[in-house]
Amino acid sequence: MQILEFIAQTLLGELIIVIVGVFFAYGIKRWWDNWRYGRYRIRLFQNGEEIVNRPVSPRKAQEILDEPADLAVFLKGVASPYAWIKCDLISKGREIGLLVIDKENRQFILNLDKNPDPEERTSPAEKQQI
């Protein structure tokens, strides 16, 4: 009987230690992610004035900083009510100043005044309609 009590007490003690350890590790990871990815902002400019200035959650900032394709989708989604982005944000957008990623000040800046005019494209379908 003493062996069963000893096993039950030991298992219960170990279970409590594991649960406390998991919560402690989760808290440290959350603090680390907030420190590393927190306080990012998205700023959108059009006609020389700021039209959007909103925070980006640490989880979303981590997601879009780790994967450039997610960054383009996120930024186009923010800009979509105001303008149609007419170039590849990641490559050409950074070259022409449409997109500025300021990691020091933790901000993504989209300047819609530098959004290029769409290139003329002719496809076989367009030629048939003419």
Domain count, the chain: 2
Same structural domain, 55 and 93: yes
Question: 2 in a domain, yes or no?
Answer: yes
pTM comes to 0.72
Question: 90 in a domain, yes or no?
Answer: yes
Question: 123 in a domain, yes or no?
Answer: no
Tens-digit pLDDT profile for residues 2-56: 888 888 888 888 989 999 999 999 999 999 999 999 999 999 999 999 999 999 9
How far apart CA 112 and CA 27 sit, in angstroms, is: 39
Angle between helices 58-66 and 2-37 (to 10 degrees): 70
Same structural domain, 33 and 46: no
Question: 120 in a domain, yes or no?
Answer: no
Instruction: Say what the alpha-carbon torsion angle 112, 114, 116, 117 is, to the nearest 10 degrees.
Output: 70
Same structural domain, 33 and 45: no
